[in-house]
Amino acid sequence: MRWFVGLLIASLAVAGVVTQMLRGQPNPPEPPAFASPEQRYAWVLSTFLPWLEQFREQFHNVPRSDGEFLRWLIVATKRRKALEIGTANGYSAIWLGLGLEATDGRLTTVEIQPNLVKEARRNLQRAGLDKVVTVLEGDALKVVPKLEGPFDFVFIDVGPRALPFFEVVEPKLSEDAIVAVHRPPFEGALRDYLNAMQQRSGWLTTVVQTGAPTAIVLSVRVPKRQ
Ligand SMILES: C[S@@+](CC[C@H](N)C(=O)[O-])C[C@H]1O[C@@H](n2cnc3c(N)ncnc32)[C@H](O)[C@@H]1O
């Protein structure tokens, strides 16, 4: 009998999580009317992103430290045309979008799961970034070859198999493009990608420990000598 009650409780818990994923997140804070973009930034940083962070594990979002780093990188290197592969619910796209809004740039982000595409669009709209970020639905390996480049920044966040995504994106990159790949917090993740990129002719790759145990692998082209 005990095992039956345990099984029943576990099934109800799983059903609850699945229903919540399908329906979307409960009670999001609705944005007030903003008098200026600065007021909106303040609300996104102090209220909306912390609310989204409750669901970080459910959606496999990058940690906040990675989001802050990505935004900084976009602004510091004045990126204008960015691509993200692996949107989930739009958490990292919001950080990238905040940076690109400051540089008057745009982000295209690709997600394979239709329910997540809807969730991401809703979250980007709440953050006031729906004019900066376009969410595309589909398998990035099929979608990216059809996109118009060149992209000067790419963020790949699809788990440990990053190399096929880099290869599909490479023909779409500008000469000065930065390719950032999120390294998930499990042992050995991205080892093949790192080895391949460190041996890849014409590319320079390093790992930035943004928030232990996760990291971001950054690659740029080695400039050609005149
Ligand atoms: C780690 S999550 C992305 C988290 C997100 N970057 C963030 O930090 O908010 C990886 C996402 O990649 C998506 N994905 C996996 N394979 C894909 C593919 N071939 N094309 C597009 N999206 C893909 C998954 O559905 C999942 O939502």
Q: 21 in a domain, yes or no?
A: no
Atom of ligand 1 nearest to the CA of 139: 20
For residues 213 and 203, what is the distance between their CA atoms, to the nearest angstrom? Answer: 25
Q: What is the residue whose two structure tokens read 């303040």?
A: 42
Domain with residue 194: its CATH number is 3.40.50.150
For residues 4-30, one letter each, b for 16 or more C-beta atoms within 10 angstroms of the residue's C-beta and e for the rest, the string is: eeeeeeeeeeeeeeeeebeeebeeeee
Residue to substitute in 49, 157, 168, 169 for testing ligand 1 pocket (most ligand atoms within 8 angstroms of CB): 157
For the record, the structure tokens of 75 come out as: 């602004």
- 68 Cβ neighbours under 8 A, 6+ residues apart: 95
Q: 4 in a domain, yes or no?
A: no
Strands 173-183 and 151-156 come out as parallel
- Confidence label for 4 from pLDDT (cuts 50, 70 and 90): low
Which structural domain, as residue segments, surrounds residue 80?
A: 37-221
Predicted local confidence at residue 6, as pLDDT: 57
Closest Cα to atom 13, ligand 1: which residue? Answer: 86
Task: Using the mean position of ligand 1's atoms as its centre, give its distance from the Cα of residue 68 in Å.
Answer: 19
Give the pLDDT mean for 119-140: 97
Q: 87 in a domain, yes or no?
A: yes
Give the residue from 176, 183, 116, 196 showing the smallest Cα distance to 155.
183
pLDDT in tens, 86-115: 999 999 999 999 999 999 999 999 999 999
For residues 71 and 79, what is the distance between their CA atoms, to the nearest angstrom? Answer: 10
pLDDT in tens, 141-161: 999 999 999 999 999 999 889
Predicted local confidence at residue 25, as pLDDT: 54
Q: What is the count of structural domains for the chain?
A: 1
Q: 20 in a domain, yes or no?
A: no
Q: 46 in a domain, yes or no?
A: yes
Q: 226 in a domain, yes or no?
A: no
